[in-house]
Amino acid sequence: MSIRTLRIGLIPGDGIGKEVIPAGRRVLEALPAYLNLKFDFVDLKAGFETFEQTGAALPDRTVDVLKSDCDGALFGAVSSPTQAVKGYSSPIVALRKKLDLYANVRPVKTVMNAPKPIDMVIVRENTEDLYVKQEKTYDGPDGKVAEAIKRISDRASFRIASMAGDIALRRQKIRDSGASSIHRSPLVTITHKSNVLSQTDGLFREASKRALSDAKYSGVAVEEQIVDSMVYKLFRQPEDYDVIVAPNLYGDILSDGAAALVGSLGLVPSANVGEGFAIGEPCHGSAPDIMGKNIANPIATLRSAALMLEFLDEPAAAAKIYAAVDANLEEGKLLSPDLGGHATTDQVVEDILKRL
């Protein structure tokens, strides 16, 4: 069998991104030889530190190399200033737009020995909604007024719901194979606020329902939740959910909130996915308070690397990483401080490498 070589861009970004992205590289390089998978890596820049040094948070070279020379990428973290800085905007948001990475996929999963098993995926539309960042402030008769455009399109809503349906079917195959301890039928929950925002969220709702009515999703149950009810039920009965699909803002809030269900943002991966390209991205921030202390939790990055491999059609390699990470968490002897342990970043990585 021929060996497949994947070229992966490495974008550490800011803060602890510079510690966890090298961990992701180490785990990819350590995958067993029988998987017939090799990696080439290219180091790329983006982030607030890059902006301070060069005046560009997302250099043109980074985008050009990703477009022309890479199969996927790992993105670390970004330090975003709390106040507006002239000329600066988030490089990961820009990357999503420039590469048309229209889906943000965030699995939220407990390990097998957890008292209440949770295994869901939040699929967030990545290119529009309020995140088009078209805002303005002006003087009104009663003082300053700020406005923002919320853009929802039929095309974006239809394809994100289709992605959610595809993920639900793939997860069912994994369950049918016996590789998952969770037993349930595939379910997609459409989340919106169309009772108030009848045009924007109403369009998202209708396009999502139409996408999921395709015959290939006939085995997938479809339900709806108003977003405030969704938040309540997400925390009260998280075990009820399989795949949740939402517009950009709601998906962002739900996925970060759901991280609390599994103990730490340091455990939660994500992937920004387009047609034939995926960027793995841990959900935590740059954490400048722990930068350089070798205590950052690398697991979100390692799971993000595995998630990237899933979308690059390498499910066996992804499964090896997931299994090694889960074994580390289930044993619980080498945990980083955010999980109540005392292990360093390097110690956690070494333990996971041994389990590969």
The model's pLDDT over 322-335, given as tens digits with 9 standing for 90+, comes to 999 999 999 999 99
135 and 153 Cβ atoms separated by less than 8 Å: no
Q: How confident is the model at residue 93 (pLDDT cuts 50, 70, 90)?
A: confident
% of the chain at pLDDT higher than 70: 97
Alpha-carbon separation of residue 346 from 91, 125, 285, 304 (angstroms):
28, 34, 19, 18
pLDDT higher than 80, residue 178 = no
The model's pLDDT over 199-242, given as tens digits with 9 standing for 90+, comes to 999 999 999 999 999 999 999 999 999 999 999 999 999 999 99
The model's pLDDT over 263-296, given as tens digits with 9 standing for 90+, comes to 778 899 999 999 889 999 998 889 999 999 999 9
The predicted structure's pLDDT at residue 112: 60
Architecture of the domain spanning 1-101+274-356: 3-Layer(aba) Sandwich (3.40)
How far is it, in rounded angstroms, from Cα 302 to Cα 300?
6
% of the chain at pLDDT higher than 90: 78
Average pLDDT over residues 149-168: 97
Q: How confident is the model at residue 82 (pLDDT cuts 50, 70, 90)?
A: confident
DSSP annotation of 221: E
The predicted structure's pLDDT at residue 182: 64
Q: Which two tokens stand for residue 90?
A: 């988030």
The structure's pTM equals 0.89
Q: How confident is the model at residue 90 (pLDDT cuts 50, 70, 90)?
A: confident
279 and 1 Cβ atoms separated by less than 8 Å: no
Is there a common fold for 1-101+274-356 and 103-263? yes
pLDDT higher than 70, residue 181 = no
Q: Does domain 103-263 have CATH number 3.40.718.10?
A: yes
- In the block, tokens 């965030």 appear at 106
How far is it, in rounded angstroms, from Cα 298 to Cα 18?
11
pLDDT, averaged across the chain: 93
Per domain, the residue ranges of the chain are: 1-101+274-356, 103-263
Least confident among 95-104, 110-119, 149-158, 168-177? 110-119
Farthest CA pair distance, the chain: 72
